[in-house]
Amino acid sequence: MSHKAAPTAVIADDERLMREQIVSRLKEAWPELVIVGEATNGLEAVAMARAQEPDIVFLDIRMPELDGIGAARALLGQCHVVFVTAYDQYAITAFEQGAVDYLLKPADPERLKLTCQRLQERLAKNEEEPNDMDVLLDQLSRRLGGEGKSRDYLRWIQASVGSSIRMISTREILFFRAEDKYTRVQTEGFEALIRKPIKELADELDPDEFWQIHRAILVRVDAIDQVSRDFRGQQIVQMKGNNEKLEVSRSFNNLFKQM
């Protein structure tokens, strides 16, 4: 990989808001860095990187078509790779053990600044990626959801509030409720809207943390205050810090067998 006078980068993430956040914070942390492309999936990222020959590619771990690890394999020896992940501590441990650069969503300015400093040092020394990068990628792949390992569940929700991005920890969320074309994200202090449907959220959230009680509702289990029955005998869930009554559909009555 050749070092250019003005370092260049490609940003790959299937979430537009996250791409915009990374680009914005990179401009603050490393003004000289030129963003030469933005990709929405792994295959697009590989094609763009091969065409543009950037110094660095920022790869979201979970992308359609080809994930970040697959894209990194395809780009071995061509550029420096920084993984971007929304997932939890075991994933971070895997990155650190493998000495691979990573960013945890939401992109923390201090962490991003440190990553940029490391990349600048590598570019200045014209360093290549480690010779055993393919082995490290195999280890990461196994650690991040393959071969019987624990699944990496969604830990952050990205919601657009006005012209800004709100990053909401799943630990803050009381429930998700489908409403028209959007899904409402309800916390104790505020609500936000996202486009991700309940079905996708149910697949991506930890089933021990969130239960689906209705085709349109997911609730955080440890935020349930009480479950009662209305005059029709219908189970009703009430969450801590919120007065809204959430109806349990008959398909999910078995969740509260004692009722």
Burial of 238 (0-12, 13-18, 19+ CB in 10 A): middle
| Statement: residue 257 has pLDDT above 70 | no
pLDDT recorded at residue 160:
74
Q: Which domains occur in the chain, in start order?
A: 8-146 (3.40.50.2300), 152-256 (2.40.50.1020)
Percentage of the chain beyond pLDDT 90 is: 42
Q: At what angle do helices 133-143 and 89-97 cross, to 10 degrees?
A: 160
pLDDT digits (tens, 9 = 90+) for 22-62: 999 999 999 999 999 999 999 999 999 999 999 999 999 88
Average of per-residue pLDDT across 162-172: 86
pLDDT recorded at residue 103:
83
pLDDT recorded at residue 216:
92
Q: ∠ at Cα 204 (70, 42), nearest 5°?
A: 20
Report residue 206's pLDDT band, with 50, 70 and 90 as the boundaries.
confident
pLDDT recorded at residue 105:
79
Contacts of 212 (CB under 8 A, 6+ apart): 198, 202, 218, 252
Record the pTM: 0.55
pLDDT digits (tens, 9 = 90+) for 116-157: 998 998 888 887 665 556 656 766 665 665 433 445 788 899
Residue 39 DSSP code: E
Report residue 225's pLDDT band, with 50, 70 and 90 as the boundaries.
very high
Average of per-residue pLDDT across 192-221: 90
Contacts of 45 (CB under 8 A, 6+ apart): 10, 12, 39, 57, 59, 63, 66, 71
Choose between 114 and 37: higher pLDDT: 37
| Statement: residue 249 has pLDDT above 80 | yes
Burial of 206 (0-12, 13-18, 19+ CB in 10 A): middle
pLDDT recorded at residue 95:
59
pLDDT recorded at residue 153:
84
CA atoms of 236 and 10, how far apart (whole Å): 48
Mean pLDDT, the chain, whole residue set: 84
Q: What are phi and psi of 184, to 5 degrees?
A: -85, 135
